[in-house]
Amino acid sequence: MKIIPAIDLKNGCCVRLIQGKEDEETVYGKDPVETALSFEEQGAQQIHLVDLDGAFRGESKNLEQVERIAQAVKVPLQLGGGIRSLDDISRVFDLGVSLVIIGTIAVKNPKILKEAIQRFGNQLILGLDAKNEKVVVSGWVEVTEFSDEEFANQWKLFGVERVIYTDIARDGMLTGPNLNSLRRMAKSTGLKVTASGGVSSLGDLKKLVELERDGVDEVIVGKAIYERKLDLREAYLWLKKMRLELLE
């Protein structure tokens, strides 16, 4: 299990939203580079970035910050939010990002994603945000008629290998991840699944580890870290200890 800390960018700052609602934000830092460096120092092997301005308006105000983070840290970055074209994807890779998360264009302009998969392969991740098992796009404001399972399976056929699955009812709520939906997604698609949304404690991570055999092998954690519900360094030490015990 890989634990990936998250940085959500809005107007250049590090923020968190509740259930993806733009008007319910808390600012946790004016300099996201400091946050990224702190995560790296605590043991992060990868960092998850979301451009909220891009997600809501399709126009980024945060690429300069993304580039600064990429220059400051040594660990890989993954970025989602507002990436709507092949040019956008190329630009993000040029900034130093290792993995690009695609969500809205998978619904709105699937032709672009198909071309992108042919060009960039497993450097692309499907970002699947769901509400009541339906796919949600455009910064979580538009609920589609697509079933989350069918949608993921469709993109698996075109070459997607990993999906970040977010139950938006859980995101920012610290109520625990939706274990049933995560297990269902992994088993029904055979994709590698990254859990996102709801993690509130080390106890939640321990529950997620039990899904690793089903294909849920990564988890993104945000608010629990910022609200000091989860000590990131402690989580990495626990994970290391658990792996050593499995080898004995």
Q: Residues with catalytic annotation?
A: 8, 129
Residues 6 or more apart in contact with residue 24 via CB below 8 angstroms: 17, 18
Kind of pairing between the strands at 134-137 and 142-147: antiparallel
Q: Cα–Cα–Cα angle for 207, 150, 58, nearest 5°?
A: 85
- Both tokens of 72, joined, read 């400051």
- Both tokens of 112, joined, read 């672009």
Which letter does DSSP use for residue 27 in this model?
Answer: E
On the 0-12 / 13-18 / 19+ scale of CB atoms within 10 A, 153 is middle
Q: d(Cα 209, Cα 214) in Å, to the nearest integer?
A: 10
